């Protein structure tokens, strides 16, 4: 049972994406908290990661960390974080700056898919925390990550072949 539970917990909590740059202060805004959670996960900093969550959600994560052990929990965060190529955050319409609760759509970009998830963040005593996370949904990718989008460039995994100029191609 524990073997099957850990990936789901990590999947649900890391969600979508990890940023490669240094996280901003957890108290600077709801988007910054989500970014900080991904950066902490990628670094394997469980203390900083757990600090991004509300007391209730943090309690669930602490229970999982105790059940699986610090090393295994941290390694799960790192593995999940390493797979994320990027993340996009967008506020759900109606989630204003002055509200004490905000809903963000978080889209994580992986090499073979994107995952979209809604995060609900709450501001308590002036600090934003992740209070709830919806299920991750796989989103189709119109162009696979790493693919060339410029004409004449080789596609990922293809061999490089010299391209012909327009006059050369017309002369054939």
Q: What is the pLDDT of residues 52-88, one digit of tens each?
A: 999 999 999 999 999 999 999 999 999 999 989 999 9
Residues 6+ apart with CB under 8 A from 110: 83, 84, 85, 145
pLDDT band at 36 (very low <50, low <70, confident <90, very high): very high
The pLDDT score that the predictor gives to residue 4 is 61
Q: Is the pLDDT of residue 22 over 60?
A: no
Q: Is the pLDDT of residue 96 over 70?
A: no
Burial of 105 (0-12, 13-18, 19+ CB in 10 A): middle
Pick the CATH number of 2-144 from 3.10.450.50, 3.30.460.80, 3.40.630.30, 3.30.870.10: 3.10.450.50
Q: Can you give the residue ranges of every domain in the chain?
A: 2-144
- What is d(CA 43, CA 5) in angstroms, rounded to the nearest whole number? 22
- pLDDT > 70: percent of the chain: 70
């Amino acid at each position: 049972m524990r073997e099957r539970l850990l990936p789901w917990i990590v999947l649900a909590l890391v969600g979508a994406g990890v940023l490669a740059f240094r996280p901003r202060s957890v108290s600077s805004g709801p988007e910054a908290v989500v970014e900080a959670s991904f950066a902490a996960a990628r670094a394997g900093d469980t203390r900083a990661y757990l600090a991004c969550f509300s007391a209730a959600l943090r309690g669930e994560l602490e229970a999982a960390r105790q059940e699986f052990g610090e090393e295994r929990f941290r390694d799960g965060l790192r593995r999940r974080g390493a797979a994320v190529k990027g993340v996009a955050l967008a506020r759900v319409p109606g989630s204003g700056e002055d509200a004490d609760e905000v809903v963000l759509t978080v889209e994580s970009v992986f090499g073979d898919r994107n995952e979209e998830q809604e995060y609900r963040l709450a501001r308590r005593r002036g600090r934003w925390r992740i209070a709830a996370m919806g299920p991750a949904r796989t989103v189709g990718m119109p162009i696979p990550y790493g693919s060339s989008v410029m004409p004449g460039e080789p596609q990922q995994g293809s061999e490089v072949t010299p391209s012909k100029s327009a006059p050369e191609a017309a002369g054939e």
